[in-house]
Structure 1
Amino acid sequence: MLGPNCREVTRRVLLAEETRLSLRERLGVRFHMLICKACPTFAEQLALMRRASARWRRYSEE
């Protein structure tokens, strides 16, 4: 296999929220993102949810 599949990339993107990925993992994710349409969309949606959650926390603390 040349690189990680979508399932593995999704797991690594979520894992990267909590811990630093190894260089090999980061390169595998980056390469996969170049050849896949769905995984970059997933990563963008995850970032959007993270920002929305942070805004909601700030809003609810006021």
Structure 2
Amino acid sequence: MRTCKEVSALVVAREDRDLGALDQMALRVHMAMCKACPRFERQMLTMRNAMKQWRNYGNDE
């Protein structure tokens, strides 16, 4: 069982690279049992989308 600290590191790493099968499985198992880590994952997704919108802001003109 991975700790929340390890899982959060995997969530961040997943932004830059594909995770191996073992890491993906550990992530799924932990996310199913933890309340905090799925929240962190949603926060990361929100930040990523906000940054994407910010980078593209003003390019529509």
TM range (shorter): over 0.9
What CA distance in whole angstroms lies between the structure 2 residues aligned with 1:19 and 1:6?
19
Q: CA deviation at 1:44?
A: 0.2
Aligned residues: 60
Structure 1 residue 60, shift from structure 2 partner: 4.1
Gaps of 5+ in 1: none
* Partner in structure 2 of residue 21 of structure 1: 19
Partner of 2:57: 59
Amino acid at match of 1:43: E
Matching residue of 1:35: 33
Aligned mate of 1:50, from 38, 48, 53: 48
TM-score, normalised with respect to structure 1: 0.91
| 4+ residue segments displaced more than 2 Å | none
1:61 shift after superposition: 3.6
Please give the TM-score of this superposition, normalised by the length of structure 2: 0.92
Deviation at 1:22, TM superposition (A): 0.6
